[in-house]
Amino acid sequence: MPVITFSSPKGGAGKTTAACILASMLAEQGATVTIIDADPNQFVQEWAQLPGLPATLQVVGGATEETIMDKIEEAASMTAFVIVDLEGLASLMVSHAISMSDLVVIPVQGSQFDASQAARQIGLIKRTEKRGGRAIPYTVLITRTNPAIMPHTLKHILQSFDERAIPVLKTRLCDREAYRAMFSYGGTLQGLAGKGVANTTVAINNAAEYAAEIVQRLRDKREQAKEVA
């Protein structure tokens, strides 16, 4: 089953939020999902302790560099999707998880510092590819953007990524109150109905587009692999 890891050496890029949004959207659509919380901050496990988590979504913690590969392998044998929220370090555990990934998602906010850190993470992916002898698909996800305005800095960053042939998801996760509310109330975006959170429907649509694009990337990679074989 597909293993999707969220990895960034920079804190605050939106890695955990992006991982939980993807997991909850897939679960709401009926898929079985495991999130492996491999970040020492354990924010995913805190979210999982709140009410409202779908029955098809489970959270696994306690990952170490000695156990991460076994946890991924076990989860992949039991659920349709495995999502790994990695720590923000270039550690052996991060390398192990990346080596087992079908897609690595690198969250980036619209700053040059975030873009530089993304380039570092791509370097780690490339080194992991060489050691493992297989290509590891990856993509950048732009997070916390203004839904109405694209700042000049972000335009410059996207142009730079394009010039270097760095893949970027077309869908961006906008800065929405509903995404923060998930971690206050628990559960999914759909579960926020009736709780007075602004623009919930818009956030759900944004998240659904994001999840659909991730799934399509996985399908495209699978088809490409079949053609090569």
Q: Mind listing the pLDDT tens digit for each residue in 123-151?
A: 999 999 999 999 999 999 999 988 888 88
Q: Write out pLDDT tens, residues 170-214.
A: 999 999 999 999 999 999 999 999 999 999 999 999 999 999 999
**Separation between Cα atoms, residue 140 and residue 6, nearest integer Å:** 10
**Separation between Cα atoms, residue 66 and residue 38, nearest integer Å:** 12
**Separation between Cα atoms, residue 187 and residue 40, nearest integer Å:** 21
Q: Write out pLDDT tens, residues 8-52.
A: 887 777 899 999 999 999 999 999 999 999 998 899 999 999 999
Question: For tokens 């919380």, what's the residue?
Answer: 37
Structure tokens given for 54: 């779908």
Question: For tokens 């495209």, what's the residue?
Answer: 220
Q: Where are the alpha helices (DSSP H) in 55-173?
A: 68-78, 92-99, 112-132, 152-163
- Written as one letter, the residue type at 66 is E
pTM of the model: 0.95
3-228 CATH fold: Rossmann fold (3.40.50)
Structure tokens given for 214: 């991730």
What is the predicted pLDDT for the residue at 229? 56
